[in-house]
Structures are given as structure tokens and as C-alpha cells.
Amino acid sequence: MGILSLITGKPGASGFGSGSTAEQVTEGISAAGLTVLVTGGSSGIGLETSRVFALRGAHVIIAARNTEAASEARKRIMEIHPVARVDVLKLDLSSLKSVRAFADQFNSMNLPLNILINNAGVMFCPFQLSEDEVEMQFATNHLGHFLLTNLLLDNMKTTAKSTGIEGRIVNLSSVAHLHTYPKGILFDQLNDKKIYNDKMAYGQSKLANILHAKELSRRLKEEGANITVNCVHPGLIMTNLMRHSFALMKAIQVVTYLFWKNVSQERQLLAT
């Protein structure tokens, strides 16, 4: 997609462009019988993703740290689509203990899993360590999703094999992966407060998302599993992810306003 098409939203060969919404992309498509798990599905683009999948008939599992907000999101979806199937489960991606507890709970429900969207994250936050003593952006954006994916992978393989329907794993990354530390991911200095840079730390967590998707895709293909793994940079949009850098992002938005999308337009990337 060229810069002009990105700005104007001009449709490409698929018939859709940067201005297309998830509802437009999925129009006429049924997701009935599919189970979709969305991390961070209680607000922003995660909520819109959950809403549109529910609209198309999927059983949506919203995995969120704040279950009160997630329950409110579920209520909003149900008000719009009364017959939607939406459940809420607690998941704190910054805690490996919570990730394991979530996976145990989900797997005990004996549900299939067709689609996993690793959407939740934190961005540009001040230096802090998770309960596992790992820098918070790397812990939440990468390690939590990495473990979650591994713990749910057998379920996804079984679901894909028994149904014949290709499974999908989508990691939400960012163009910020290009702006990490000069040496890339600093595995030996993740928790070094002296060199911590909130922007570069975010970038290295997003680079890790991409490397995870690339390697997992290779392994699943080699194994012959009917699951695809992709990373996606969803575009520029002002959501609560920007809460630690609101002033900076608003300033950037003024200069680059032509490239920014609304929530509905952004979700079309996850729907295709």
C-alpha cells in the first residue's frame, strides 16, 4: 500500500483500503462455530475486534486484567447484539502466574480455540518491574503473550485438526519495532534501569512480538499444523494505550493527522 493510498483510503486489489472498517471487510462472512480469544478486549481496538467477531457469530472470549471493565464491554456488545456469545475471563499478562491460571481455566472449559488475537499491551510506561521481576513492557507485551500462546497451542492444533478449519494467531506489533535499542533486544539488560528508555523498551517488546510470530510460523509449517501466525501493525490511533504519552502523541497527531484512523477502520486488519 503506497503513501497516497494510505492517506486517501483508496481500495487496493482486495477491494479494501486503509479506510475500510472491520464490518465492511467481514460483511457476508459467518464466524458461527468459531471461538475467538482476544486479549485486552475490553477497550479500544480490542473491544472493536470483539464486537465485530461477536456480530459475525463467533463465541468471543474477552481476556482482560480489569474484569469490571471487560464485563461492561460485554454488556455494551450484548446491547447491540443480544444473541452474541461473549464471555469474560481474568488475565493479567504481566504476571506469569495469572497467565498460567487463565490457560488452566480456559482449557478446563473444554472449548475449541480457532483464533487467538494477542492484542493487549502497555506503551511508553515509566520503568517498573513486573511481579516476576521483568521490565513491565517486555513482560506484558511479549512474555505474557508468548507463554499464553504456548499454553493454548495444543488446543488450537486439536481444534484445527478436528474441524479442518485453519487456526489463526495474530500478534499485535508496531512499526515501533524499527526504533528499539541500537543492538536490538537487550536480553541481558532488560531490567537495567540506568539505560532504560521507554520508547526503545517498547520497540524491543514489539520486535520480540514479530520474532515470536516468525519463528512460531516456521515451526508450525514444518510440523504441518493447520495454523497461520501473523504480526500486524494496526496503524495510528489514539486509544488508552497512549495514556503514558498523551501529550507527545497528540503533538505527533497534529503533524501526521492524515495517517490516523478511527477504531473501526483499524480493526479491518485483524478481520482479514
Q: What local confidence, expressed as pLDDT, does residue 8 receive?
A: 58
Of 181, 196, 202, 257, the active-site residue reads 196
The answer to whether residue 262 sits within a structural domain is yes
Count of structural domains within the chain: 2
The answer to whether residue 176 sits within a structural domain is no
Pick from 67-81, 87-101, 239-253: least confident: 239-253
Cα-flanking dihedrals φ and ψ of residue 219, to 5°? -65, -40
- Its pTM stands at 0.85
20 versus 212: which is more confidently predicted? Answer: 212
Which three cell numbers mark 48?
A: 472493536
The answer to whether residue 260 sits within a structural domain is yes
Q: Say which residue the cell 517498547 belongs to.
A: 202
Mean pLDDT of 211-215: 97
Q: What local confidence, expressed as pLDDT, does residue 270 receive?
A: 43
Q: What local confidence, expressed as pLDDT, does residue 150 receive?
A: 98
pLDDT tens digits, one per residue of 195-211: 999 999 999 999 999 99
174 has a pLDDT exceeding 70: yes
Q: Are 139 and 169 in contact (CB under 8 A)?
A: no
The answer to whether residue 148 sits within a structural domain is no
181 is catalytic: no
45 has a pLDDT exceeding 80: yes
Q: How confident is the model at residue 3 (pLDDT cuts 50, 70, 90)?
A: low
* Nearest residue to 89 (alpha-carbon basis) of 36, 154, 150, 131: 36
Q: What local confidence, expressed as pLDDT, does residue 247 receive?
A: 54
Mean pLDDT of 59-85: 96
Q: What local confidence, expressed as pLDDT, does residue 177 receive?
A: 84
Of 109, 125, 144, the domain-final residue? 109
Q: How confident is the model at residue 95 (pLDDT cuts 50, 70, 90)?
A: very high
Pick from 1-10, 165-174, 256-265: least confident: 256-265
Q: How confident is the model at residue 233 (pLDDT cuts 50, 70, 90)?
A: confident
The answer to whether residue 249 sits within a structural domain is yes
Q: What percent of the chain has pLDDT over 90?
A: 73
* Nearest residue to 146 (alpha-carbon basis) of 64, 100, 223, 209: 209
pLDDT tens digits, one per residue of 96-139: 999 999 999 999 999 999 999 999 999 999 999 999 999 999 99
Q: What is the chain's mean pLDDT, rounded?
A: 87
Of 109, 124, 143, the domain-final residue? 109
The answer to whether residue 239 sits within a structural domain is yes
Of 85, 109, 133, the domain-final residue? 109
Q: Are 70 and 115 in contact (CB under 8 A)?
A: no
Give me the domain span that covers residue 38: 23-42+66-109
The answer to whether residue 82 sits within a structural domain is yes
The answer to whether residue 219 sits within a structural domain is no
In angstroms, the CA 144 to CA 252 distance is 29
